[in-house]
Amino acid sequence: MAAVFHPGHHELHGITVVVDTAGPEIYVGRCDDMDERQVILLDVDVHKDGDGGRSKAEYVERAAQLGVWKKFDRLVVPRAQVTSVKRLGEL
Amino acid sequence: MPYSELMVAPMRAELASIGFEELRTAEDVERFMNDGEGSALLVLNSVCGCAAGQARPGVRKALESAVKPDRLATVFAGQDLEATARARSYFSDIPPSSPSMALLKGGEVVYFVPRHRIESRSADEVAADLTAAFERYIAAATPA
């Protein structure tokens, strides 16, 4: 496990994460911060289950190879919608 | 906005001290990339400690292996903006991230390590990833 390089930030600060939700959306971006209310992502791509004929799993599999093209500079995902937050590099 | 050169200088030096040529301009990049002979490792350096702190030591360890690229070069993302943009234009089908690393053979990218495969790993793991790529893509072409 890599060390935390920014004391005071969440342990995932600066790490590229996959944020899955209870809905059709799944996000890949660099975690800026997260708490009980929200997950704040930077340089974010979003995929909707089935878009382009790809499931969430297929989208993540592709993202894990070389990364994603960002659609948003910054995005806030309400924590209530989030079902999991995982490091892309570990998928 | 670029960081102070005072802050960045040690990060540049960490790669320059192990043989990396710093490509500071778009012209530097074009000269390097257009010389497609042999193999080359291009490192997109970065200030970010989350990932670059593992990237540079990982590269150093990887270059201790018997098989390694013929040429080494680096651009500094967020600092040398034109050079970085020009470098990325040579692998424009790969989403931009930094730090990241491109292994080239005959001028073509044969292996790429994006940021997310560095930030979750130790320097030893980054080195192992690179060493395996050197063995796979360079060793076969290296005379005994």
Contacts of B119 in chain A (CB under 8 A): 2, 14-16, 87, 89
Across the interface, of B48, B97, B114, the residue whose CB is closest to A14 is B48
Q: Does B140 score more than 80 pLDDT? A: no
pLDDT given for residue A2 in this prediction: 43
Q: Is-contact A82 A25, C-beta < 8 A?
A: no
For residue range B88-118, list pLDDT tens digits in order.
999 999 999 999 999 999 999 999 999 999 9
Q: What is the ipTM of this complex?
A: 0.86
Give the Cα separation of A66 and A49 in Å (integer): 20
For residue range A10-55, list pLDDT tens digits in order.
888 899 999 999 999 999 999 999 999 999 999 999 999 999 999 9
Q: Does B69 score more than 90 pLDDT? A: yes
Report residue A68 as tokens: 């994603």
Give the Cα separation of B47 and A51 in Å (integer): 35
Q: Which residues pair with B143 in a beta bridge?
A: none
- Order across the sheet with B21-22: list the strands: B21-22, B71-76, B39-45, B100-105, B108-113
Q: Does A71 touch chain B (CB under 8 A)?
A: no
Q: Which residues contact A32 (CB under 8 A, 6 or more apart)?
A: A13, A40, A41, A42, A74
Q: Is-contact A5 A31, C-beta < 8 A?
A: no
Q: Does A1 score more than 70 pLDDT? A: no
Look at B114 and A67 and tell me if their CB atoms are within 8 Å: yes
**Rounded average pLDDT over B24-48:** 93
Interface of B with A in 81-110 (CB under 8 A): 94-95, 97
